[in-house]
Amino acid sequence: MAIRNDQGIVLRGYPFGESHRIVVLVSPNHGKLRTVARGVRKTKSRFGGRLEPFTHVDVVLYEGKNLDTITQVSTINAFGELRNHLDRILAASTMVEVVDAVVQEEEPSMRMFLLLQRGLTVLDHQEPHPDLLTSFLLKAADIIGVAPSFDSCASCGRSDRLRRFSFAAGGSLCESCRTQGAYVLRDGLVSYLASVAAADFTTLPDSDPGMSSDALGVTRRFMEYHLERQLKSLAMVDG
């Protein structure tokens, strides 16, 4: 058994035994870490408060057979401001849920970790842009290698008459290539999604409220199709 240092962002936690807590983190170099914080549910725990979801922490781990035990925690960033706003908490919950679904244990996940860190940083500093979650989902799709194409037909490559969207084909389709089950997208939505996909979190173009909700709807279902699971926290954002 050995002691090692690591860092990560807390994705979630749940009770374990009478007084312990399982804490799941995403680490840049070791993927998902499933750890146990012993005794934290007793009063006056040394570090229970630092292990809330979204917190970026440095940890000292005592390696166990199944679970590593957290012996020390220090906060790198608590993202304290985002916790004061329900809409930001919901957005952060969706980000965390996506990362939790994508990242595996013992698998480096630097890009996913950095994406989450950037997402939380933006939520900590400003009101969420209406297209922030769409942007996050598209960047996550890119990292796992399923980025949908919005500027050319996923089947023939042409760049005009893109009105359909197919989860299975991996993006927009022209009218000639449309397949059964390919959704019709409203006029302008494909180019709207393309501009969101091309932007960074802090350089998102001015949003169009009607387009934003459709863009998130399509992107969410696309992600759910690839993850083969529903994004529960996004169902709350969506209403």
Chain residues in the site for Zn ion (CB under 5 A) = 153, 155-156, 174, 177
Token digits of residue 61: 């781990």
Nearer to Zn ion, 182 or 234 (CB): 182
Say if strands 183-184 and 171-174 run parallel, antiparallel, or are unpaired.
unpaired
Nearer to Zn ion, 98 or 174 (CB): 174
**In terms of Cα–Cα distance, which of 87, 144, 116, 139 is closest to 26?**
116
Nearer to Zn ion, 55 or 155 (CB): 155
Nearer to Zn ion, 109 or 155 (CB): 155
What's the closest the beta carbon of residue 162 comes to Zn ion, in angstroms? 8
Own/partner pairs, 174-181, CB within 8 angstroms, 24+ separation: 177/153
1-28 core/surface letters (b: 16 or more CB in 10 A; e: else) = eeeeebbbbbbebeebeeebbebbbbbb
Nearer to Zn ion, 74 or 159 (CB): 159
What's the closest the beta carbon of residue 160 comes to Zn ion, in angstroms? 10
Give the C-alpha separation, 201 to 105, whole Å: 27
Token digits of residue 211: 């387009």
What's the closest the beta carbon of residue 174 comes to Zn ion, in angstroms? 4
What's the closest the beta carbon of residue 152 comes to Zn ion, in angstroms? 8
Give the C-alpha separation, 165 to 150, whole Å: 9
Give the C-alpha separation, 54 to 230, whole Å: 21
Nearer to Zn ion, 116 or 174 (CB): 174
Give the C-alpha separation, 218 to 75, whole Å: 36
- Given 3-state DSSP classes, what are the helix, strand and coil percentages for the chain, each rounded to the nearest 5? 40, 25, 35
What's the closest the beta carbon of residue 154 comes to Zn ion, in angstroms? 8
What's the closest the beta carbon of residue 169 comes to Zn ion, in angstroms? 9
Question: What is the CA 27 to chain-centroid distance, rounded?
Answer: 14
In angstroms, what CA-CA distances link 8 with 30, 31, 109, 187? 9, 9, 11, 42
What's the closest the beta carbon of residue 178 comes to Zn ion, in angstroms? 8
